[in-house]
Structures are given as C-alpha cells and as structure tokens.
Chains A and B, each alone.
Chain A
Amino acid sequence: MNTLQIARLVAAKDLRIEWNSRVFVNQVLPFAGVTMVIFAFALDADSVLQRVAPGLVWLATLFSLLVLVQRAFAVETADGALDALRVAGVDPRAIYLGKAAALGVQLLVLEAVLLFAAVVLYGQTIPAGGWVLLVTTLISATCGLAAVGTLYGGLAAGFTGRETLLPLLTFPAVAPVLIGATRAVEAALGTAGAVVSDGWPWVGLLAVFAVAFGVGGALAFGPLIDE
C-alpha cells in the first residue's frame, strides 16, 4: 500500500471512532454553538454582530479546532495507539495526512454549522454570487487549519501541559488563516459592502498557507512523534 492509501485508512479509522463515540456531535458542535451565543452577549448590538459575523465564525472554529485536536490525539495516546502504529511500521507521513484529513472533514462540518448559525443568529445572508468563493475559502482554510492542528497536536501529545501548550503554538501559527479566511468570507457574504472579487487574493494566501504547512507538517511529523 502506498502512503495515500494508508492515510485514507487512518482517516477512516479516526472518523469511525468519532462516529461511534459521538463526541463531535454531542460535545464539540454544541460547544461551537454556545460560543456563537456568548459572542452575541459580549457584543450586544445587532449591527456590530452583523459586521463582525465572519470573524466570529472563524474564531469559534479556532476554539473548536483546539478541542478537536486534543481529542484526536487523546485517542491515539490513551492506549499507546500511536506507538503501536509506529511499531507496525506505518509511515508517519501517512499518519499525519490521515489524521489531518479526518480533522479536516470534522472542521468542514463544523464550519458549515457555524455559518448556518451566523445566518440564523447574526442575520447574515449568503448572496448567490458568493457561493463559489465561500466554498473555496472553507476548503482551503480548513486544509491549513487541519495541517497546523495535526502537526502541533502530535508534538504536544502525551506530555503534561499539552492543553496549555497547544493554543500557544497554534494561535500565532494560524493567524494568517484567521485573517485570510475572515476577509474572504466577508467578501463572499458582502459584509460591510465588500465585493466578491476582493476575496480571491485571500484564497491565494490560504492556499499557500495550506500547502506550506501541509508539506512542512508531513515532513516534520515523523521526527516529532518518533521517540
């Protein structure tokens, strides 16, 4: 089997674990939802919420990303599963890509739910012309977030203090994703008079980010967990 086939197996395994445990559906999605509600408490006025809704969607995504990454590696370290995978001779790049793919799928679902929440709670509308940009942004931003999250999650896995280390490492690294994805979604939704064509340069940034961290992560993951 080549790396990609193994990666697919790892991803399927992760998603099956999630599906059976229902942690994603029962805990992470409600957490993201409640985050959207407390943002409304903090920012109060409707006009402010409408203006900042795309940014809030991505902030809620980032917070949930941390929860998801912790969870993704908790199942690996609990019974020494990660070590078992390594002992079985599984290519670390395949583990990385597989786990990142599984994380990406969950993030995409999460983002769709959060966008729906933004439509319902913050009065956003999605214009017909913005759909292509919106979907492209979601996919490229998700790839970047999944790449960074898996990389730093693997680094911190199994060490005391990982819960606090993960956000410290992740947030500065994903700052470009937060900036780029927020602007691109603003353009797609037409927030504050933004036009769709404004969004495409940001998608370029997101794509470069995703490729850079995807390649960097796949190369660095082996040395990080191999100990």
Chain B
Amino acid sequence: MTTTDPTLSPTGPVGDRRSSGAGTGTRGTRIIGIATIVAMGWLVAFGLGFSPEDRDQRESVRLLYVHVPTIWIAYLAFIVTAIASVMYFFGKKKSLGWDRLAGASAEIGTAFVAVTLVIGAMWGRLTWGVFWQWDARLTTTALLFVTYIGYLAVRRLGGTHEQRARRSAVIGMLAVLEIPLVHWSVRLWRSLHQEATVLGTDGDVSMDGLMLFSLFIGVIAFSLLYVWLVMHRTRVMAMEDLLDDRDLDEALAARHAEAEPVVAAGNEEGTA
C-alpha cells in the first residue's frame, strides 16, 4: 500500500497491512515521510540560507516560502475534499473511504490555511506595518477558513457514519458554491469602496531565480507533508470508525489477534 486507497474498507487492509498492530505507517508513508523531512531541510537551507534577501522587503520575504505553498496546498486540499464529497455522494458504492478522504483533506487544508493566515499577518506587520488589511483576498481567505471550520464541526455532529458522510458531503459540495460567491462579493466590496490599495503587488514582478527555486522547494515540501498527513489521517479515521462500529470487545479481540504473532515472537526471543 503506497497510496491512499479511498475505497479502503474498514475491516480490510487496516488490520492485515500491519504486523505489529501499532500505528498507521506503512512502507509508503515512511518513504514519503523521509522525503518530506529531506524537502523541509532543503526548504530551510534555501529559504533561510541560500536565497537572497529582497530589495524592498528585506529578510521578511523569506516568510513567503511558507506562506505561498501552504495556501496553494490548502486550495488543493479543499478541491480534494470537494471531489471526494462528490465521489461519495454520487458514487454507487457509498464508500466511506471517500468520506474519510474528504474529512482528512479538509482538516489538513484548514490547518494549512491557519498557517497561511498567521504567517501572512506576520509578513503584513513587517511589510505594511499592520497585521491585517481588508483586502479582498485576505477577507476571502478568512471566510474560507471559517467555512471549513464549520465543515469540520458538521462532521462531529454525531449519528452513524453514513449520516456523517452524507451530511458532510453535502456541506463539502455547498462550500464549492459558497466560496466563489464570497470571493466575488468581497472583491466587489473592496473595488467599490477603497481606492487602489497599496498592497496589490509585492514589487517583485521579476522574481529572482533563486527565490523562485526556494518557493518551488517549498511547494514540493508542503505537498509531500500534505500527502503524508492525509494518508495517516485517513487511516486513523478508518480505525476510529472501526472502533465505533464493532463492540469494544470485538475490537479488542481483533487487536489481540493482530498482536499475538508479535507477542509470541517476542516470547520466543525472550526464552531463547
């Protein structure tokens, strides 16, 4: 299993994929995890070390190597959520795997938007002198953040897994309807009610080659981080659902059954 398989059944591979019975890691996630660490190391080296400081923004330009990739990946995550919601809702099998993929992706996307907003506020303080501007893009991003917090709250409403899946799929699809409307209205609001804002362009129309490369590494690093987190999170969700579905005894029995070979092997080693 090297990829997240959305159609993973709760009773299937979760158990037999693992031999130790602990954790959600597989060879695939470990490879991606190591790649993430390497890419993050590169990002630190290039972002903080090799890339030059900006003529106008000075050192604060380095914040953009996190700010820009996180929001791109967050958009990607929300697109994945929307697609997975559609797949669940209109799919014939009603596979909960799609629902879990949607939920995991939304959680990580929301976390990434939070990072974007915090880093952006820091950058804004350094560059514009204020943490926040009522700029169209900022305002839309803030509302996007709240919208997906609402989506995550809907996932926690309770009920059966199928109820959760159907409700959150509907909300996941409605968010796609909502976000463009919010963006359109906020843009109209700002364009009519504020003279040309100072913050429009960053001044770096021709971006330095090394800066662009650092940004590129940032995108790679955060993409890997996203994939790694989603894989683990969907598996944790599958396990949570599994736990909910079965009686506790049954779940315990299953875990014992999984752990037995390891325990037996351990005993053999101990006695030898």
Contact = CB atoms under 8 A, between A and B. Distances in A.
24 contacts: A156-B157, A159-B157, A165-B150, A165-B153, A165-B154, A169-B150, A169-B171, A172-B146, A172-B147, A172-B150, A172-B178, A173-B174, A175-B143, A175-B182, A175-B185, A175-B186, A179-B186, A179-B189, A180-B188, A201-B188, A216-B174, A223-B170, A224-B167, A227-B166
Given A172-B146, A172-B147, A173-B147, A183 B153 contact: no
Interface in B183-232: 184-186, 188-189, 192-193
Nearest to A169: B150
A21 interface: no
Interface in B92-146: 143, 146
A220 interface: yes
A213 B181 CA distance: 10
Interface of B: 89, 143, 146-147, 149-150, 153-154, 157-159, 162-163, 166-167, 170-171, 173-174, 177-178, 181-182, 184-186, 188-189, 192-193
Contacts of A198: 192
Contacts of A216: 174, 177
Contacts of B186: 175-176, 179
B208 to A, nearest CB: 37
A156 B146 CA distance: 17
Contacts of A175: 143, 182, 185-186
Interface of A: 151, 155-156, 159-161, 165, 168-169, 171-173, 175-176, 179-180, 183, 198, 201-202, 205, 208-209, 212-213, 216, 220, 223-224, 227
Interface of B is mostly: helix
B139 to A, nearest CB: 9
Nearest to A225: B167
A160 B158 CA distance: 9
A155 B146 CA distance: 17
Given A155-B171, A212-B181, A216-B174, A172 B188 contact: no
Given A202-B188, A224-B167, 13 more contacts: A155-B154, A159-B157, A165-B153, A168-B146, A168-B149, A172-B146, A172-B147, A173-B178, A173-B182, A183-B189, A183-B192, A209-B181, A220-B174
